[in-house]
A and B are shown apart, each in its own frame.
Chain A
Amino acid sequence: MAIEHSSVDLSDAMILEPTALADWIITAPVIIPLIAGALLLMIRHETRFHAGIAIGALLLALLGHIGLLARVLETGPLTMTMGRWLPPFGISFTADVLGASMGLAATLSALVCALYSLTDIGARGRRYGFYGFLMLMMAGVNGAFITGDIFNLYVWFEVFLISSFGLLVLGSERRQLDGATKYAILNLLGTTLFLTATALLYGALGTLNMADIARVMPEVQDSIPAGTLATLFFFAFAMKAAAFPVNFWLPASYHTPRIAAAALFGGVLTKIGVYALLRTFGMLMPDQLTLLSTLIAWVAAATMIIGVMGALAQTDLRRILGFVVISGVGTMMAGLALGSVEGFSGAIFYAFHSILVMTALYLLAGVMNGLAGTYSLRTLSGLYTSHPLVAAFAFLLFLAVSGLPPASGLWPKVMLIRASIDGGAPWLAFAILLSSLLTMLALGRVFLLAVWRPAVEPSTAMVVSPGIGYAALLVLAVPIVWMGVYPEPFANVATKAAAGLTDTSAYIRSVFPEVVQ
C-alpha cells in the first residue's frame, strides 16, 4: 500500500475497514460492460464472437443489477468509495433503490436490443464496432445510475454520450451524419451547461459528493446562489431529457440510426436525464424544486402535449416514436414538478414502464420494416392479415403507451393523476389525461394504417424473418403485462425509491457512517 512509501501518515484520510466481497456487486453493472467493451475493441475483426460476448456481458450485468437491487431493498443504500480515500474526497459509488431499479430496467432493455441486433446488425456493423460501442455505452449508463458524485455523473454522461455518437453514425450514411451532427452539438451544449453548473456548485459548496451536498445544502442555501444553480441544472438535464422547448434534437436524430440502437436511445437515454433531474432536485435541492415547481409543471405539460402533437403530424413510424418518447418525458416531469413522494413514485414507475415500452415500440417498428420494407405510413399496410402476431404485439404496446389496461402504462398514470389532484394541481392531471388521449389517437392512427388497412400495394421488399424480433418483443412483453396486471411489486419499488429521495438520512449514512441523524 502507498502508506508505507510515504513520509506522511495518510491513514486518517483513508477507509481502513476491509471491504466485504459482497459489496463488489455495486461495481458489477459498470465493470462488466467496460471489460467486455475493451475485449470487443481488441478483437474488432473477429466479428463472429462479438454478439456472444456482448449478450453474455449484458446478462451478467443484469444479474449484477438484480443482486444489487435485492441488496439495497433489504439493507438500504450501498456505498463503495474508490481508492479507499474517505468521502467526500474519494469518489463514491452509492446505489440506492432509484439508481439500482432504473439501471436494472435499462440493462434489460439493452439486453433485448443486443438480442434484436442479431438480425439488425450485419458483419459490417460489427466490424464498425456496434457491440463495442454498445458495451461502453451501457457502462456509462450504469455508471450514471450508480454514482454518488455529481462530477462523476458528468463523466458517465460523457462516456455514454460519446459511445452513442458511435452508435448513431454506424454505417456513415449521409442522413445519419446529419442527425448525428444535430445530436452531438445540442448534447454537447447540454453537457457544457451541466459542467458549468457543477463548477458553480463546487465553488459554492466545496463538495461534489451527493450525500455531502444533501447534508450541507439546507444549511447554506440562503448564502449561495442556489436558485441560479438549480435553474442551470434544470436546463442542462431538461435538454438531455428532451423536454420542451429544448426537445428539437431528438426527432431530428432518433430516426436515423439502426433500429437496435434507436430502440436503446429511445428507451434509455432520455430517462437518464429524468433520473438526473429526480436526483438533483428530489434529493439535493428540494427547496429549489419548490421554487421552480411552477416552471417545471408548465414545461412538463407543454412537453406532453406538444410532443404528442408532433407524433400526430408525422408519417414516418420512427419519427412518430421519437415524439412519443418526448411526450413520456413530459409525463415524468409532471411527477417531478409535484415535489411529493407520490409524484416522485409515479414518475419513477412511469420511467420503468417507459424504458421497456419505448424500446419495444422501436423494435416493433424494426420488425414492421423488416416485413414491409418501409417505415412510412403511406405504404406500410396489411400487417393484420399477413402477420397477425405483429398486430398482437402492436395492439399490446399501443395500449401500454396510451395508458390503457391491461398493460403497463395504466398504473403509473393513475399514480401521477392522483398525486396531481392531491397536490392541488388538477390542471396537470388534465394535461396527463389529454396527452394520453392524444397518444391513443396518434398510435391508433398507426394501428389503423399499418395494421388494419388492407395492403395498398404488393410488397416488393425482401422480407426479413421476424423470429428474433418476436423473441425480443416477447421478452419485453412479459414485464409490460406484469406491470399492468400485478403492479404492486413495481409500485412498491418506485415508492421506496421516491422515499429514498425525500428522506436522505439512509443515503447520507451509507456514505458517512459516522454521521448520526
Chain B
Amino acid sequence: MQTLIFRTAAPYISSLMVLFSIFVTLRGHNEPGGGFIGGLIAASAAAVYGIAYGVPAVRKALYFHPMAIAGSGLMLSALSGVFSIFHGVPLMTGVWGSFGFLGATVDIATVVTFDLGVYLVVLGSFTSIALALEEREDG
C-alpha cells in the first residue's frame, strides 16, 4: 500500500504487536492469553508489515522460512510434552524448574515451552498462508 502515513507507521505498529504478542503468550498460563492468540497477533504483525512493504520484506525480516518456524514450534511443543518421561509422570505433565538470574529466582516449566511452541506453530503457519495469498495477488 502506497500511503505515506501507513508506510511510516507500519514498522512501529508491527513491532508493538510483536511485543504485545509475547506479553500475551507469557501471561497465558493462568490468565487470558496463551500461545495460540499470541501467535495470531504476531502473524497479524507480519501481515501488517507485508501490506506496507510487500512480501519479500517480510520474508527478509522473518529470516527463517515460515514453515520452518512452524516446524520448530511443533518440535518444541512435542519435546516439551515428552520431557516428563524423565520424571516418572505421564505425557504432557508440566515439569517445573528454576534458575537464578541477576539475584532473582526465575521459574521455568515445560508448560511455558509448550506454549512458546504453539506460538511458533501459529505464527509460522498463519504467516505462511498470509504471504502465499499476498504473493498470489501481486503475481
Contact = CB atoms under 8 A, between A and B. Distances in A.
A1 B90 contact: no
B96 interface: yes
B90 A80 contact: yes
A4 to B, nearest CB: 8
Contacts of A34: 74, 78
B71 A39 contact: yes
B89 A84 contact: yes
B91 A82 contact: yes
In order of increasing CB-CB distance, the 8 nearest A-B pairs are: A41-B71, A38-B74, A38-B75, A18-B88, A42-B71, A82-B92, A84-B93, A83-B92
B71 A40 contact: yes
A94 to B, nearest CB: 12
Interface in A5-53: 5, 15, 18-19, 21, 23-24, 27, 31, 34-35, 37-45
Contacts of A15: 90
A44 B72 CA distance: 11
A379 B95 CA distance: 63
Contacts of A80: 90-91
Given A24-B85, A35-B78, A83 B93 contact: yes
A164 interface: no
Contacts of B111: 2
A81 interface: yes
A5 B105 CA distance: 14
A132 B107 CA distance: 34
Contacts, number: 78
B67 A82 contact: no
B107 A41 contact: no
Interface residues of A, number: 31
A19 B89 contact: yes
Q: Which of B70, B74, B94, B109 has the most CB of A within 10 A?
A: B74
B79 interface: yes
B95 A1 contact: yes
Contacts of B19: none
B85 A41 contact: no
Given A2-B111, A39-B71, A41-B71, 17 more contacts: A2-B109, A18-B89, A19-B89, A27-B82, A34-B74, A37-B74, A38-B71, A38-B75, A38-B78, A42-B68, A42-B71, A80-B91, A82-B91, A82-B92, A82-B93, A83-B94, A84-B89
A42 B75 contact: yes
A82 B90 contact: yes
B74 A83 contact: no
18 contacts: A1-B96, A19-B89, A21-B85, A31-B81, A31-B91, A34-B74, A35-B78, A38-B72, A38-B74, A41-B70, A42-B68, A43-B68, A44-B65, A80-B90, A82-B92, A83-B94, A84-B89, A129-B67
A385 to B, nearest CB: 47
B135 to A, nearest CB: 14
A37 B70 CA distance: 11
Interface residues of B, number: 26
Nearest to B95: A1
Nearest to A17: B88
A18 B111 CA distance: 19
A19 B70 CA distance: 31
A35 B90 contact: no
A41 B89 contact: no
A162 B68 CA distance: 18
Nearest to B81: A31
Contacts of B73: 38
Contacts of B92: 82-83
A23 B52 CA distance: 52
Contact of A39 (B75, B88, B95, B109): B75
A31 B75 contact: no
Interface in A128-146: 129, 132
Contacts of B79: 35
Interface in B16-48: none
A31 B82 contact: yes
A42 B64 CA distance: 10
B90 A84 contact: yes
Given A34-B78, A83-B93, A83-B94, A19 B88 contact: yes
Interface in A343-370: none
A77 to B, nearest CB: 16
B76 to A, nearest CB: 8
Contacts of A82: 90-93
A80 B92 CA distance: 11
